[in-house]
Amino acid sequence: MKIFIDDTYEAMSKRIADDVVNIMNNAPEPLFCAASGDSPKSLYKELIQRNNASAIDISSWYFLGLDEWIGLDASDEGSCRYMLNKDLFHPLHAKEEMLCCFDGKTNDALKECNRIENFITKHNGIDVAILGLGMNGHIGLNEPGTSPLLRSHVMDIAETTKTVGQKYFSKPQILTKGITLGLATLTEAKHLFLIVSGEKKAAILKEALQHEPTESIPATLIREHPGLMVYADKAAAKLL
C-alpha cells in the first residue's frame, strides 16, 4: 500500500490522472473500472481534458462500471450509469462496445453478475479500479458485513448509504439494494486506487487504514492488496 496526500482535491486528482495514464498506457488490453459519485469527478475531468488535447488516447481503453442501484439504469437520473455517462463516458466519446456496466433493472441478477465477471476475464482482468470510501467504510456497494470472498453480487443497502445516496437524485429515491463488484473480484485487480477527499471522510479514512481487518469496515479488507494506492487531500488526511 502506498499513501499520497496532497494539499488540495485538484492537486490530488492530477496526481491520480498521471498514475492512471501511466498504467493504462502500458497495459496490453487496458480495462478501467470506474466508480460514480463525487470523489473521482475531478479525476474524470482531468482525463477528459487530456483526451481532448490529444495528450492521451483512450480509444483502446475498456471501461467497467463498479456498481449500480437495483431498479435503476442509465435512463434514470442519479443512477451510477447515468452519472458515469455524464461525467466520463460521453465526454470521452467512449464507444458503447468498450463499455460494460451493471443493469440495475435486470430480471436475473445472477446472470448479470456472470456477464460482468466474464467481461473482466475476457479482457485479462482490471488494470485500474477507481474506488471511493463510503462514510461507513463501504467499497463499491460492499456494505459492512460483506464477506471478502464474494464476487459480483446483490447487496442490501445500509441505512447510511440510503441517506447519503439521496444527494444524487433530484427527488427522494427509495434505495434498497445494489449490485456491485465483490471484494474478491476487486482484489484481483492489478491496481486499486482509493480516493478520499474532504474533512467529513477523515474519521473513516483513519479507521480504514489503522483498524484491524474486519468485515464491519469493508475498506480494511483491501488494505493488504499489493497494488493499493490511497489518495487523500489534506482535509481527509487530518487525523492520520
2-233 has which fold? Rossmann fold (3.40.50)
Q: Where along the chain do its domains lie?
A: 2-233
Question: Which three three-digit cell numbers place residue 123?
Answer: 479482457
> Does the global pTM surpass 0.85?
yes
pLDDT band at 110 (very low <50, low <70, confident <90, very high): very high
Per residue, what are the HEC states of 101-166?
CCCCCCCCHHHHHHHHHHHHHHCCCCCEEEEECCCCCCECCECCCCCCCCCCEEEECCHHHHHHHH
Which tens digits make up the pLDDT trace of 8-50? 999 999 999 999 999 999 999 999 999 999 999 999 999 999 9
Q: How many helices and strands, by DSSP H and E, does the chain display? A: 8, 10
Q: Which residues are catalytic?
A: 67, 136, 138, 143
Which tens digits make up the pLDDT trace of 170-226? 999 999 999 999 999 999 999 999 999 999 999 999 999 999 999 999 999 999 999
